[in-house]
Amino acid sequence: MIAALAGAAVTALVLPVLVAAGPAGAQSAQAAPQATRTDPVSALKRQFRAHHGVKLAETAKLIGEGKGQRTVYARTRGVLEFDRTGVTATDLTSKFDLPSDAGETGDLFTASRTITVKGVSYISGGVFSDALPEGKKWLRDRDNTLTLLNPAQKLLNPLEPATLKATLAHTTAKRPGGTWDGARTVVHSGTITLGELYRISPTVRTLLGKKPSAKAAPLPVSWQLYIGSDQLVRRVVSSYTQSIRGLTSVDVVYLNDSRYSDWGAKSAIKAPPASQVADFDELRIGDKEAEEAYVQLFNG
C-alpha cells in the first residue's frame, strides 16, 4: 500500500495530467482603525504595500483512502511579502513527514528552503542538494519547476483578491471560528469547482498547466475560511478527492490547512548572493543519474 501511496505522491507532482484525464512601517492589520474595516477583499488589498507581508504556517496532507491507508505530510513555514499588486516574494521552508516504510521514495521529499523573488526561485536543500558544485548553496529554478513539487499542493489561494471574492460568493454556512492570531473569527464554508478556480486563479492555472477537461472541471473543492473581525483571513482549510484508479488502487484525498499571522509585518526578502547560486546545467550528475532523477520526480 505504501508503494501505491508513494506513487500517488509522486503522481501528484504532475497533477495537470491527472486532472485533465478525469475527476478526482505602517500600522499592523490588527491595529487598523475601525473605519478602515470593510469586506475581506478590500481588507486584503489594503495589505498590498511594499516590504510588508504576512507569515504562513501550512500543513498539507495526502491521504490514501481505504484499508491500509497512509498519509504523507508536508509542512511549510515562512513569510510572504507584498507589493502594490499582491505577493511579490516568498521565503518558505518545507519539510515532509512520510510513513516509516516509505523506503527510497522518501529521498524525493527532503527538507528544503525556497526563496522566490521577481518570479525566480532559489532552492537550498531538497533532492538536488548533493549535486551542487562546490561552494554553491542554492539552485536557481527559473521556470519554478521544483517549487510545485508539493504532494498536496493547495488549490485555494486566499491572497488573490479575485479568488477570495469568488470563493466567498459560494458561502453556504457561517459559524464562530474561535480565536486565531489574536483575532476572533467567523468561519465561512462552502464548495467551489476546479473549473471556476482555473478561470479566476493564477495559482491554479500555473499548477494545472492547461484547462481541465469537461469531465474534470466539476471537481468540487470544499473550503473553510476563518475571517477575523478586521476582515483578514486567518486560516483556510481546503480539500478535494481525486480518483487515480488505474495508476493505483485507491482514491486520494488532498487536505490543506494554511494559517496566516502577523499581517502587515515588515519584510525585505532578497535573492541569495550570486556567488552561491548554481543553475541546472551546473549540477554534478552524470547523464544516467540525471535521467533516473527525472524519472523519479515526474513518473514515479
Report pTM.
0.79
Residue-averaged pLDDT of the chain: 80
- Give the residue with greater pLDDT, 212 vs 62: 212
Strand order in the sheet with 183-193: 171-180, 183-193, 220-228, 233-243, 251-266, 52-64, 71-82, 87-97, 112-117, 120-125, 138-141, 277-278
Flag whether pLDDT at 17 surpasses 50: no
Report percent pLDDT > 70 for the chain: 70
Total number of residues shown for the chain: 300
The percentage of the chain sitting over the pLDDT mark of 90, rounded to a whole number, equals: 51
Helix (H, G, I), strand (E, B) or coil at 47: coil
CB neighbours of residue 95 within 10 Å: 15
* Residue 268 CB coordination number (10 Å): 11
Q: Is the pLDDT of residue 220 over 80?
A: yes
Q: Who wins on pLDDT, 280 or 1?
A: 280
Strand partners, 184: 179
- In the numeric block, which cell numbers belong to residue 275? 556567488
User: pLDDT tens across 85-124, in order?
Assistant: 999 999 999 988 766 555 555 555 678 899 999 889 999 9
* pLDDT(35) > 70: no
With cut-offs at 50, 70 and 90, classify the pLDDT of residue 12. Answer: very low
pLDDT value, residue 289: 52
The mean pLDDT of 155-170, rounded to a whole number, is: 96
Q: Decide if pLDDT at 216 tops 70.
A: yes
- What does the pLDDT read at residue 292? 57
Band (pLDDT 50/70/90 cuts) for residue 284 is: confident
Architecture of domain 2-299: Clam (2.50)
> Quick one: pLDDT band at residue 250, thresholds 50, 70, 90?
low
Assign 45 to helix, strand or coil: helix
Query: Could you read off the pLDDT of 123-159 as tens digits, one per residue?
Result: 998 878 888 999 999 999 887 666 655 444 678 999 9
Average pLDDT over residues 63-69: 63
Phi, psi dihedrals of residue 47, rounded to the nearest 5°: -80, -10
The predicted structure's pLDDT at residue 21: 38
Strand pairing report for 277-278 and 251-266: unpaired
Per-residue pLDDT of 194-212, as tens digits, reads 999 999 999 898 888 889 9
User: What residues form DSSP beta bridges with 114?
Assistant: 92, 123
- pLDDT at site 138: 95
pLDDT (0 to 100) of residue 296:
52
Question: Residue 148: which residues within 8 A CB-CB, separation 6 or more?
Answer: 13, 206, 207
Query: What is the rounded distance in angstroms from the CA atom of residue 44 to the CA atom of residue 37?
Result: 10
Q: Which residue has the higher pLDDT, 267 or 299?
A: 267
Q: Is the pLDDT of residue 6 over 50?
A: no
E strands, 71-182, where?
Answer: 71-82, 87-97, 112-117, 120-125, 138-141, 171-180
